Amino acid sequence: MIRAAIFDLGQVLVWFDNKIFLRKLAEHAGLELERLRAAVHENLDLIRAFDRGEISPAEFHQEVCAALGLEIEADLFFEYYEDIFAANAPVLEIVRRLKAAGYLLVLLSNTDVVRYAFIQRRFPETQTFDAYVLSYEVGLMKPDPAIYLEAGRRAGAKPADCVFIDDLAENVEAARAAGMHALHYAPETDLAAELRTLGLVF
């Protein structure tokens, strides 16, 4: 019987669009958007290091500017960087109903300290979970099997008693490999119906 629901953050609880950040950055720097986007993809290891908490916001800003050849003050850089989110109200309502029904709730996200702090301020409804497993705090990222086991541990539930919801197929498959039930979420997904199919009552 499922006792815990583990939710991804981006593209599940909140929508995000990195193109908003890149477009603002390109306009500020007078660069072509596609050229900037290509440069970002060449530096994904830097983004992953920030998501794992291996570098500070100041180091991230400095290294991004150096890698992309940009000159932009940190305050403005992070203003562009963080304001890319919108609430996914139907899923947040499902979270509210699951909590009211007594299920254990865990938020599991690959994220960094800057964007997560923004989400805490902008979307307080995401702060109703029983436990949080954030990549920058635990030094792990999906689809590492260890991060799913940590989420289950913090929920106080065996993997078989957990359901994990994520928008990326590789993360869903990794959760299943770790012994969890898992659902692949997309905008057209009837998440409430999918959860009820697994036996959740809310």
* 166 belongs to a structural domain: yes
pLDDT in tens, 146-165: 999 999 999 999 999 999 99
Q: Are residues 42 and 68 in the same domain?
A: yes
Q: Are residues 118 and 41 in the same domain?
A: no
| Per-state percent for the chain, helix, strand, coil, to nearest 5 | 55, 15, 30
Q: Are residues 126 and 61 in the same domain?
A: no
- Identify which of 113, 143, 145, 42 has the alpha carbon closest to the alpha carbon of residue 132: 113
Q: What confidence score (pLDDT) does residue 171 get?
A: 98
What does pLDDT average to over the chain? Answer: 97
Can you say whether residue 142 is alpha, beta or left, with left for phi > 0 and alpha for psi between -120 and 50 degrees? beta
Cβ atoms of residues 60 and 50 within 8 Å: yes
Q: What confidence score (pLDDT) does residue 160 get?
A: 97
Which of 33-42, 69-78, 120-129, 169-178 shows the lowest mean pLDDT across its residues?
33-42
Q: What confidence score (pLDDT) does residue 3 get?
A: 98
CATH assignment at residue 50: 1.10.150
* 202 belongs to a structural domain: no
Q: Are residues 65 and 137 in the same domain?
A: no
Q: Which domain holds residue 10?
A: 4-15+85-197
pLDDT in tens, 60-98: 999 999 988 899 999 999 999 999 999 999 999 999 999
Q: What confidence score (pLDDT) does residue 68 get?
A: 87
Q: Are residues 90 and 160 in the same domain?
A: yes
Last residue within a domain, chosen from 82, 117, 138: 82
| Count of domains for the chain | 2
The rounded percent of the chain whose pLDDT value lies above 70 is 100
CA dist., res. 196 & res. 114, Å (int): 35
CATH assignment at residue 159: 3.40.50.1000
Phi, psi dihedral angles at 57 (to 5 degrees): -55, -40
Q: Are residues 121 and 192 in the same domain?
A: yes
